[in-house]
Amino acid sequence: MPTSLSGGRPVIEAIVSMSHIDNGNPQPANLPRRVTTKTLQKMRSDGIAISMLTAYDYPTAEALDSAGVDVLLVGDSLAMVVQGHETTLPVTMDQMLYHAEMVGRAAKRSMVVVDLPFPEGQLEINRSVEASARVLKETKCHAVKLEGGAEQANRIEAIVTAGIPVMAHVGLRPQSVHVEGGYRIQRQTDKLLADAIAAERAGAFCVLIECVPTEIGRAITDAVSVPTIGIGAGHHVSGQVLVTHDMIGFNSGYLPKFVKQFSDVRGAITQAAQEYCQAIRTGQFPGKEESFE
């Protein structure tokens, strides 16, 4: 079974190939076809790397969707990157739904997964099922993500039984930051394997692995048959996810080692704003072109 991210294939080739494999049937390459749990499973089987990024609003989701990102995640990281909190803990279910509704409407091809925010995935199982059902009922999103593995197996099973696809999140669990005493690389191979296997057995369609050594990312991927998505988990996984604000350089704070910055959006915004202020101060804006006769 292929487990490496792209097997050396360029990303653009993976995107083009993807448009031909929806539901196993050949599709015209120029038609956007919705990415589903089945598509992701087939991508893993065919060794096509899965791309996933976070999105929290309509224009960003629209841009990422049309760029060919396979999965959009309305992550609870929005508490940190959008709301400016120090952890993911403060964001509420209603706030998640507010953002998920915009992302779900914007995404034409990408599958959209929504995080269950703290403590929706920690209290009674029925409460998690109800919260997950709100995601499908009140937004156009397609699945939920839940932190935890073995100890969450009953919860995952209950949500999947209700007809809601679940992505399990193992390894570093940001919602447990205060128990862990910080954000640390996770190295307990046996526990991590047990978590991923339990999540798959409970019905999770995918396992997200955060912040583990490359070899543990590979071992987990080899141990399960569902796709694995890594963030700081090396390249022997079925796909990769990053927080979009980190990836595009729209963050002022600390960047984890696993982030690759592909742009400098904060720099571009700062420069544009400085030029705007300068143009106002010097009377260059508005000019004739921006004024009515």
Q: Which of 68, 75, 117, 148 binds ligand KIV (CB under 6 A)?
A: 75
The residue within the footprint of ligand KIV, chosen from 22, 65, 76, 200 (CB under 6 A), is 76
Q: Which of 73, 100, 197, 226 binds ligand KIV (CB under 6 A)?
A: 73
Closer by beta carbon to ligand KIV, 200 or else 210: 210
The verdict on whether 210 is a catalytic residue reads yes
Among the options 120, 147, 200, 210, which is catalytic? Answer: 210
| Binding of ligand KIV by 51 (CB under 6 A) | no
Query: Between helices 189-202 and 153-161, what is the axis angle to 10°?
Result: 20
Is 210 one of the binding residues for ligand KIV (CB under 6 A)?
yes
**Shortest spacing between CB 279 and ligand KIV, in angstroms:** 36
Q: Is residue 243 a contact point for ligand KIV (CB under 6 A)? A: yes
Specify the stretch interacting with ligand KIV by CB under 6 A; choose among 75-83, 105-113, 184-192, 265-273: 75-83
Residue whose entry in the numeric block shows the structure tokens 């191979």: 189
In the complex with ligand KIV, which residue's Cβ is closer, 51 or 77? 77
Position 246, amino acid? D
CB of residue 126 to ligand KIV, shortest distance in Å? 24
- Which amino acids are annotated catalytic? 210
- Applying CB under 6 A, the residues found at the interface with ligand KIV are 54, 73, 75-77, 115, 208, 210, 231, 241, 243
